[in-house]
Structure 1
């Protein structure tokens, strides 16, 4: 098992930030300092930008919708290139892209989540991350860019909260590298520790509008059933992760091998 806490990077303006390095795979341990995941970087401070320079993060993959990115653009330091890969372009109303609606009208947003509906919506969204054409295109571009020989430095990928679109990207990378499924889930569930404290003001705002936090936790955190829904869709639609990579993302065996060479 990997030490998830040891991989967490506590930047106040970049919550849910951690290194994928340190996780064991079938070909060795994921190298540290090459690939990071986080929540939005729209509020990145000058002090925290310094970490990006120190870590040599030169490419940031923004998995948010075009509307999300336009409303809250990343505040990247000079020398770091941002690239938008709109995973949910075919479904911009997905609950995974709806955090702004929560902030604007907590009561109305919460009403859509009653009676376990929140969990159902997220499980369906995770299936969309596997089957939706825009998702397949975005994740294909993500993998191909990672292994591009002309790309330099470390890379980071994120969405708004760094848990759903980002969570599947991380799970896909780790799975294709041959990480143990328990370690894949450990990294995924670490979001509940790394992210929720940063969302406390949002929870308090919702409570002030009469919304109980227990209603929102399935939306603001992650659950095993969400990631399990994505893996189930992979198995049902493609028969496994390697075929998902080959037929869904159009990656060759050589390209998957290049990912392993790069990261392990």
Structure 2
């Protein structure tokens, strides 16, 4: 029997669990797991959908994975965001549909902001997720200022794509010497030349995203990243990040999703989720900046460093279009990631392949 895997939207508030999908109908078998391997259910119940929504309660805690079986349909879901105190922008890359109808596996690959503010309870939460590998796109300077707070059993790799504008954005987020940085920007804004420079800087992220595709250093870093994913796939889930989990991480996520066959609108939607998840932190940062300056040029520049926009990701994809390359051909030609490598990636990260 052919099984169709569909992504289930999962929302958890305390003991209340809400499951939704337009095709949910009637009574179904529901299984809740504490592991993405879906080996042994912690809870099995029956639930009835009303207008595509099932409501239920559970005393289970930690990261949960829900499976709803309905004839030939298998709905699989988890919360998109990993809700722990030390991270704003950590999220699961599972649950996205590919162009040919396959589904990206939940609980295997995560994108995130830096792990420098993890509490002990945060570390325990990630350990309980069996996280095996962390890949850090930050520069050595960023890592020295804000080292990840990790436990001894996790493996950590650094692949720096030399993203200078992204590094600048990351350093602003570090919150170090805000007053001095803003005073320097205000001084720049006092001259016509400086004002023009600030205006140009607001658009520098587009050029940065182009460089993440074009530069030899970035290609080397992302090639290492993709190959490390294949090496680490049997060692537990993998998490990759930069400082804010925005641009360097965003292009890495776009590469992976594209290689899996996820379409561009979905890749863009995932990229733009950063604005939603970082909204609270961005608001806090802008409040701090406004306490030091009311210069609109300076504030606009600082705001541009925190946002993700369609134009930014367009910068990366425009390079591929100019070269008449798909993500697959770009990976083969520029990242030494072969068709066989891409198939191995799919076999790991898509349901119904080599993994159960």
- The TM-score with structure 2 as length reference comes to 0.68
| Inter-partner Cα distance in structure 1 for 2:289 and 2:225 | 35
Indicate the structure (1 or 2) with the bigger Cα radius of gyration. 2
| Inter-partner Cα distance in structure 2 for 1:201 and 1:4 | 28
SS at match of 1:29: coil
Query: Residue 26 of structure 1: CA displacement?
Result: 3.4
Unaligned runs of 5+ in 1: none
Query: Residue 215 of structure 1: CA displacement?
Result: 4.0
Report which of the two has the higher share of strand: 2
Residue 171 of structure 2 is aligned with which of 90, 100, 123?
A: 100
Matched, 1:67 2:67: no
Structure 1 counterpart of 2:22:
none
| Inter-partner Cα distance in structure 2 for 1:188 and 1:257 | 24
SS at match of 1:75: coil
Equivalences for residues 12-31 of structure 1 within 5 A: 12-26=85-99, 28-31=102-105
Structure 2 counterpart of 1:180:
263
Aligned positions, number:
260
Query: Residue 235 of structure 1: CA displacement?
Result: 2.1
Residue 245 of structure 1 is aligned with which of 324, 328, 331?
A: 331
SS at match of 1:157: strand
Structure 2 counterpart of 1:235:
321
Between 155-164 and 97-106, the greater mean CA deviation after superposition: 97-106
Structure 1 counterpart of 2:342:
256
Contact 2:260 2:346 in 1 (8 A): yes
Report which of the two has the higher share of helix: 1
Q: Deviations over 1:24-57 (max 9, x none)?
A: 1135111000000100101111111112111111
Structure 1 counterpart of 2:123:
49
| Inter-partner Cα distance in structure 2 for 1:128 and 1:224 | 16
Query: Residue 143 of structure 1: CA displacement?
Result: 0.7
Structure 2 counterpart of 1:222:
308
Change (3 A) 1:47 1:153: same
Change (3 A) 1:188 1:263: same
Query: Residue 12 of structure 1: CA displacement?
Result: 1.9
SS at match of 1:148: helix
Structure 2 counterpart of 1:196:
279
Which has the bigger relative contact order, CA under 8 A and spacing at least 6?
A: 1
Matched, 1:168 2:251: yes
| Inter-partner Cα distance in structure 2 for 1:186 and 1:119 | 22
Residue 35 of structure 1 is aligned with which of 105, 109, 115?
A: 109
Alignment RMSD: 2.3
| Inter-partner Cα distance in structure 2 for 1:45 and 1:198 | 17
Matched, 1:134 2:217: yes
- The TM-score with structure 1 as length reference comes to 0.90
Query: Residue 101 of structure 1: CA displacement?
Result: 4.7
Unaligned runs of 5+ in 2: 1-5, 12-78, 351-356
| Inter-partner Cα distance in structure 1 for 2:341 and 2:120 | 36
